[in-house]
Amino acid sequence: MIVRKNMAELEKMRAAGLLVWKILENLKRMVAEGVSTYDLEVTAEKMMQDAGARPAFKGYKSPAAETKFPFVLCTSVNDEIVHGMPSHKRILKPGDIVSIDTGVQLSGYYGDSAVTVGIGEISPEAQRLMDVTRESLEMAIEKARAGNRLFDICGTVERHVTANGFSIVREFVGHGIGTQMHEEPQIPNYVDRRGENPRLKEGMVLAIEPMVNAGKPGARVKPDKWTAVTEDGRYSAHFEHTVAITANGPWVLTRP
């Protein structure tokens, strides 16, 4: 069942969303040569504490993993797709791209967003990969309207990505969000005909998150049971926003 939210609930989700936005804005400014992904983690955790928010990822146990995720951020560098772990050993260097994904729970409601940022001069292909991934998210957000169907979102991402010669990661998907970080529906970044295609309605809140590989779509999970990497070792990008469907169209809760 897809849980729909009333305006009072959306306002709470808005507060969570804006905190996530503020954290990511801060981290984007911090990202530079010589900064470690753990430096980003420390800053993000402090900001959550100061805001009285609970980190959504730290302590999270996925069905696949045997351990709880130990950090407030996922930092996924280069060939890492998602769920990379912050580390003081992972020092960012020119040419890297880092996806920063984070979520908080505030007053009972979740916000979830991700950005990918380049460090110094990056290759033209890496730049185009980030651009196309971000564009596919923006185009999908436009489809988050009452009366459309879920596949309108999925298909929009898929078409833009494949038309640009990149590939969609199939193992990980977006999701509904609210009092739980992961609610129904699942939102693949491609049209999955085996899945359901519900009509979108006012009050639904969706975390739309294209994960796009520069090369082949294949992904594998590293022995740490969390970090997903591309099978071919090429770069991957990830952008995400939490989006509410309202009478006035899509409301991106994770940016002003």
Q: How far is the CB of 33 from Mg ion (least distance, A)?
A: 25
Give the nearer residue to Mg ion in terms of CB position, either 18 or 91: 18
Q: How far is the CB of 133 from Mg ion (least distance, A)?
A: 14
- Interaction of residue 183 with Mg ion, rule CB under 5 A: no
Strand partners, 146: none
CA 118 to chain centre: 16
How many whole angstroms separate alpha carbon 92 and alpha carbon 175? Answer: 30
Give me the 200-239 binding string for Mg ion, x by CB under 5 A, dash otherwise: -------x--------------------------------
Give the nearer residue to Mg ion in terms of CB position, either 114 or 252: 114
How many whole angstroms separate alpha carbon 119 and alpha carbon 94? Answer: 5
Distance set, CA 210 to CA 108, 114, 170 (Å): 26, 10, 10
Q: Answer for the pair 100, 85: CB distance below 8 angstroms, yes or no.
A: no
Contacts with 25 (C-beta within 8 Å, 6 or more apart), sequence order: none
Q: How far is the CB of 53 from Mg ion (least distance, A)?
A: 15
**Concatenated DSSP letters for 119-133?**
-SS--HHHHHHHHHH
Site size with Mg ion, rule: CB under 5 A: 5
Q: How far is the CB of 40 from Mg ion (least distance, A)?
A: 15
Sheet holding 241-246, edge to edge: 183-187, 174-176, 205-208, 241-246, 249-252
Q: How far is the CB of 127 from Mg ion (least distance, A)?
A: 22
Q: Tally helices (H) and strands (E) across the chain.
A: 4, 15
Give the nearer residue to Mg ion in terms of CB position, either 58 or 95: 58
Q: How far is the CB of 174 from Mg ion (least distance, A)?
A: 6
Amino acid identity of residue 200, one-letter, is L
Token pair of 18 as six digits: 């804006």
Parallel, antiparallel, or unpaired for β 211-213 and 54-55? unpaired
Give the nearer residue to Mg ion in terms of CB position, either 58 or 125: 58
Distance set, CA 146 to CA 45, 185, 242 (Å): 36, 15, 16
Give the nearer residue to Mg ion in terms of CB position, either 12 or 238: 238
Residues of this chain, 91-150, that bind Mg ion according to CB under 5 A = 101, 112, 114
Q: How far is the CB of 90 from Mg ion (least distance, A)?
A: 19
Give the nearer residue to Mg ion in terms of CB position, either 79 or 112: 112
Give the nearer residue to Mg ion in terms of CB position, either 125 or 192: 192
Interface ranges with Mg ion (CB under 5 A): 101, 112, 114, 207, 240
